[in-house]
Structure formats: C-alpha cells, structure tokens
Amino acid sequence: MADEPLTIRLLGRPAIERPGQTADRLRSRKSWALLAYLLLCEARPTRSQLAGMLFSEADDPLRALRWSLAEIRRCLGDSVSIDGDPVVLLLSEGVAVDVDLLGRDWTAAVEAVGLGAELLDGLVVRGAPAFESWLLYERRRIAAASEAILHEAALGLLARGALDRACGFAVRAAAMSPLDENHQALLIRLYRLMGDDAAAERQYAAWTGLLDTELGVAPGVTIEAAMRERPRRRVGVPTSATVEAAIESGSATIAAGAIEPGVAALRSAVRLADAGAATSLRSRSRQVLAEALIHSLRGLDEEGLAHLHEADRLAVEDDDPIGSALARAELGYVDFLRARYDRAERWLSEAMDLADGSPVVMAKAATYLGSVHSDTADYPRAIALLDEAGRLSREAGDPRREAYALCMKGRVELLRGDLDEADHHLTTAVALAERVHWLSFLPWPQAFQGEVCLARHEPSRAAEIFQQAFARACQLGDPCWEGITARGLALVADAEGDSERAFETLRDARSRGTRLADPYVWLDAHILDAMCDLGRTHGHPETRTWIDTLRELASRAGMRELTVRALLHSAARGSTGDADAADLLAAEIDNPDLHALIRATREGRTQPC
C-alpha cells in the first residue's frame, strides 16, 4: 500500500524496512547504486547519463537500466514513482530515508540508526568508475555530516547541563576524526566541567602524544583553554545594573583593542549574570562573550560555540526570538567557517525565521547564508541572498555588513568569470570599508581584486594590490587574510616566471591560513586548488598528493565546484572516470567557466583549471 510505513536505509548496510517484516534487499548492487544516486542527486539525470554511468559495460546499457528501475519498483511497490526521461523518483508520504535525518535538528538527527556508519557500506560496483567517484564524494560528505551532528549534539547537551550524555557524543565525534582539535577540546572541556580532572589529563596526554607522532606539533590554544576550564562556581547575587555594567565594560575594553582583558571581563559578566535572576542577561552576556571569542580572540571558536548554545537555550526559555536569532546566526557563522554547510544553513535559516523582520539580524544571517551558498557553488541563491543582505544592511545603517556582502558577491562573480561585475562590487566594498575606517577588513576584498587583475593579465597591478593587502594582513595577524593574500603573491610569482618562489609561497599560504584550530576551510581548499594548477603546469612531484588532498577536503565539506575542479585535475593526469564524475557533479552548478573547463579536459586541452 502507498501509505504503508517504509524506511530506506542507506547508512551502513543498505536495506528496505517495513514494520514487523524482515528487511528487503535489492538483488543487484547496481540497483542499490541507482536508487541511492536518484535519492541523493539534486539534478535530474537522463536515462542515457544513468546508463553510461552504471551500465556502460553491458551489451545493451539502456535495457540494463530498465531492468534495475523495474527491480526498484518491484521492491518499493506503490511507495515509489520512478519514470520519465530525465528520470524522476518520487516517494510517497509514508516513506522515510535515513540520510534525510542528517539535515534535521540534532535532537532528531541523532536518532538516525546508522549515524556514523559508511554510506552503502560494503557496496562495490565494478565497471562504473564515474559512479565510484561520485560515491566516494557522497561517502565523505555524509561522514562529515554525521561527525558534525555528533559534535553539535554534545554542545547542545552541554548547554542543557546533561554532561554525561554530552560526553558520549563527544567521544564518538573524536573517534570519527581523531586529529580534529575542536573535538578534543570539547571532550576535555566536558571532563573538566564534570570535575573528572584525571580523565581530562589522560585525554590531554593522549592528544599531545598523537599530535607529536602524526604532525610533530604541540596542542593549540583551544586545547589549552579547555584544560583551564573549571566547574562553574556561583558568586554573590548582583543587581541587573551590575551585570549590565560588566557587559559594557568588557565590550568597551575589546573595542579599545585590549582583547584578552575584555574577554576576561565578559567571562566575569557571565558568572554575575548566572548569579542573578534575569534570564535575558544570562543569554545576552553569553552572546557578547561568544562573539568576542569568535571574532576578536581568534582560535577559541569552540568555547564560543558552547556559550552560543547556552545563549540560544536561555533565549528560547525567555521567549526572546531576537536573542535566539542572534545566537543561531553566530552558530551558523562558525559552521560556515568549518565547512559544515548543512548545519550552517539550518542555523542561519532558523535565524532569519526568528528575526521578526529585524534588519540587523536579517542582514547578518543573509550575509552568512549567501556565503554558505557561494562556498557550495549554488551561485544564483548566493547572489540573491547577498543582494538582500546589502539592502538590509543599508536599512539597518550597517555599512560594514554591506561591505562584507558586496565583497562576497564580487567573489561569486570572480569565480564565474564575470570580471567586470566582480571588479565593480569589490571596488565598492573597498571604498565603503575605507569610508567607515574598517581597515581590518580590507585585505579580504583586495585579495579578490588582485585575482581579477591576474585574470585580466595585469600582473604588475595585481602584485601592487597583493603586497599592500599582505602587509596589512600580517600587521593585523589575521590567519585568513594572510592566507588569501599570500596565495595571490604566489600566483604573481608564477606569472613573473618564478615557479620555485610560487610553490614556496603557496605552502606558506596554507600554513598561515590553517595555523589556528578554526581556519576558514574553503580558503584552504582554494589555496590547494592553486597548488594543483601550478603543479600540473610545472610537473611538480607532489601534484598527485595535492589533488587527493583537495578532493578529500572538498568532498567531505560538499564544496561542489572545488570537488569538480579536483576531479578535473585528476582526469587531466589520466584517472579513469573522473571527467565523467566531474560532468555529473557540474550539472548542478551554474558556472559557464567551469563547464568550459570540463569541455577542455575532455578534448585533451589540459591547461590549468
């Protein structure tokens, strides 16, 4: 029956489950592959594309495709409609797909039975290299999504005071990615808050040993901060005015440039607020502290996240939608930086829903959400959101936010090859930032201005822009700004014929951009893409390693264009099936320049992407 409850499990060993019945399995591995592809792929593939991807070795590929489609219909019955060309799969209302849970709130997502298991575990499809490339991409993306949910669940339970349950999820997240410093910091912080100092010290020692063995480095500031965490002690009951004064004092100290004393004052404000009775002040003090940790005292985003989850919970309890919206916008921003784009999109969309028309909150959330869609190559949606963010920023009287939105829109146009529009918006962003004396922002739009000059074959002008931006970035000590401007200087060096200096500078750019526990992950992939370009051009011996690193990083995060570019780099070096896989992924991306690169790769014109 069409309304019969049914669950399609793709996490772990695939199965089709009905209540009270033995799990069904499709007989053909390629039928499972076809079903998974149709469920997970956003584009609508044609029959010829599906036949070529999965059944190219069959005597009659289209007939083999029809057989697999018929097997899916037989197994799912009235619960599925699957027909047409392009092929459209529609599920009835009673059908659940376990992977879909990964996009929901963490409280629902942790109920996914196979959370943390491999997508289509054990499935091997031979003679289908394009599908194998696509499946590798999806497996990495799903694994990263599962890991992000476990981490978010631990933070959410920490905010609720359920430290034991939080610790269980933190352990699972750390096991999935043992070298992730933020997972380790959260686990150590939980042990400290629980009063289990011995467990915290054991975890710290194990992490220190792993870092030394694997990377030859010492723990970063986020781990050291977690080791300093203590169970929260109450202080004397203050007045609301005292708490307000502590928040104002901390904020003013940070604005004056004394970051660490200001953060210390805001931590004191949180303790004072907890001793008082006003829930609104408990939420606001955490919000202000979290923003200082994330935007001012770099490297402590993990501590900031814990405060944001608590601020959100308190705002919800206090029936304060604007407070909750502000917390969720910042949660989305951190997930954006970490390339947890599904989680970021959820937080930011919820922030916009809760903002109650506030242009300040809406502008912030729309700017970050537009940036998320830019990173994942949904360019039409990115441009629409960034345009809206600019309008809302003007309405809110926030020229800094407007400059940020203009810069990110200019970046989209640069990536799509529209150099005139990119130049216009980046120049406007720079002028606006200069007008309001936001000099600490300038290296970001200037770096993309330099890339526009390089694309126009103006290396001298590009060098001038990059040198100024790099000097300013170093003065500020901002890892992200240093990384993007150093990347530009490397490309200038290559344009000037100094490939050795170019490679040295690109390595330095990666090192600068990732020196803290919370780098902007898209930037790391952007730098790697340049390394792959130059590596192919000059026949560098490490090019294959760079390509594989880019492919894994981009596919885990769901950076679709950068995944396509990694596949094209690999295809240009002769990897079977990667050009077809790139074509499949690029079908969902509105970028004429990218499609031109795919055609060039297929035609054997393997110049850098």
**Read out DSSP for 172-225?**
HHHHH-TT-HHHHHHHHHHHHHTT-HHHHHHHHHHHHHHHHHHT-----HHHHH
In the predicted structure, residue 608 carries a pLDDT above the cut 70: no
pLDDT in tens, 100-129: 999 899 999 998 888 999 999 999 998 899
How confident is residue 456, by pLDDT bands cut at 50, 70 and 90? very high
**Measured distance CA(585)–CA(600) in Å, rounded:** 16
Q: Which pLDDT belongs to residue 386?
A: 98
In a domain, 485, yes or no: no
Q: Which pLDDT belongs to residue 118?
A: 95
**Token output for 505:** 């500078």
Q: 417-426 long-range CB contacts below 8 Å, 24 or more apart?
A: 417/455, 417/591, 417/592, 417/593, 419/452, 419/455, 419/456, 422/448, 422/452, 423/449, 423/452, 426/452
In a domain, 457, yes or no: no
In the predicted structure, residue 211 carries a pLDDT above the cut 50: yes
**Token output for 28:** 């053909």
**Measured distance CA(201)–CA(562) in Å, rounded:** 39
The rounded percent of the chain whose pLDDT value lies above 90 is 84
Torsion over CA: 138, 367, 347, 91 (sign):
negative
Residues 469-494 have a mean pLDDT of 96
Q: How far is CA 425 from CA 163, 410, 590, in A?
A: 47, 5, 20
Contact 386, 405 (CB under 8 A): yes
Which domain does 394 fall in, by range?
Answer: 329-441
- Exposed (0-12), middle (13-18) or buried (19+): which is 260, by Cβ within 10 Å? exposed
What is the maximal distance between C-alpha atoms in the chain?
81
Contact 281, 243 (CB under 8 A): yes
Which residue's entry shows tokens 């030394």? Answer: 212
Q: How many CA atoms lie within 13 A of 408 on its CB side?
A: 31
153 and 50, same structural domain? no
74 and 12, same structural domain? yes
In the predicted structure, residue 1 carries a pLDDT above the cut 50: no
Q: What are residue 8's DSSP bridge partners?
A: 16, 97
Is-cis flag, bond preceding 359, omega within 30?
Answer: no
173 and 93, same structural domain? no
CATH number at residue 361: 1.25.40.10
Which of 198, 227, 256 terminates a domain? The answer is 227
Strands (E), 18-170: 80-83, 88-91, 95-97
**Measured distance CA(161)–CA(168) in Å, rounded:** 14
Contact 36, 120 (CB under 8 A): yes
In the predicted structure, residue 479 carries a pLDDT above the cut 50: yes
Which of 196, 227, 258 terminates a domain? The answer is 227
Q: What are φ and ψ of residue 564, in 5° steps? A: -60, -45
How confident is residue 4, by pLDDT bands cut at 50, 70 and 90? low
Contact 302, 520 (CB under 8 A): no
Please count the helices (runs of H) and the strands (runs of E) in the chain: 28, 5
Nearest alpha carbon to residue 335 among 325, 326, 347, 349:
347
* Lowest model confidence (mean pLDDT) among 201-205, 228-232, 605-609: 605-609
93 and 16, same structural domain? yes
pLDDT in tens, 559-591: 999 999 999 999 999 888 899 999 989 988 999
Q: Which pLDDT belongs to residue 609?
A: 52
DSSP state of 24: B
How confident is residue 3, by pLDDT bands cut at 50, 70 and 90? low
Q: Which pLDDT belongs to residue 161?
A: 93
**Measured distance CA(99)–CA(76) in Å, rounded:** 17
Query: Which helix H or strand E contains 9, and what residues bound it?
Result: strand 6-9
Q: What is the mean pLDDT of the chain?
A: 93
Which residue's entry shows tokens 């090019």? Answer: 543
Cα Rg of the chain, angstroms: 25
Contact 521, 483 (CB under 8 A): no
183 and 99, same structural domain? no
Q: Which pLDDT belongs to residue 606?
A: 54
78 and 187, same structural domain? no
87 and 169, same structural domain? no
In the predicted structure, residue 164 carries a pLDDT above the cut 90: yes
Residues 253-282 have a mean pLDDT of 90
In the predicted structure, residue 177 carries a pLDDT above the cut 50: yes
pLDDT in tens, 132-150: 999 999 999 999 999 999 9
Q: Which pLDDT belongs to residue 550?
A: 98
199 and 93, same structural domain? no
Please provide the size of the chain in residues.
609
Residues 481-495 have a mean pLDDT of 98
Q: Which pLDDT belongs to residue 78?
A: 87
Number of domains observed in the structure of the chain: 3
Q: Which pLDDT belongs to residue 607?
A: 53
Q: Which pLDDT belongs to residue 2?
A: 46
How confident is residue 227, by pLDDT bands cut at 50, 70 and 90? very high
**Token output for 378:** 């949904």
220 and 111, same structural domain? no
**Measured distance CA(446)–CA(430) in Å, rounded:** 7
What DSSP string runs through 361-394? HHHHHHHHHHHHHHHTT-HHHHHHHHHHHHHHHH
In terms of pLDDT, which residue wins out, 457 or 297?
A: 457
CATH number at residue 198: 1.25.40
pLDDT in tens, 389-427: 999 999 999 999 999 999 999 999 999 999 999 999 999
The rounded percent of the chain whose pLDDT value lies above 70 is 97
Q: Which pLDDT belongs to residue 605?
A: 57
In the predicted structure, residue 296 carries a pLDDT above the cut 50: yes
53 and 31, same structural domain? yes
CB contact set of 422 (below 8 Å; sequence gap of 6+): 410, 411, 413, 414, 448, 452
In terms of pLDDT, which residue wins out, 167 or 235?
A: 167
**Token output for 365:** 């959330």
In the predicted structure, residue 235 carries a pLDDT above the cut 70: no
Which of 65, 99, 127 terminates a domain? The answer is 127
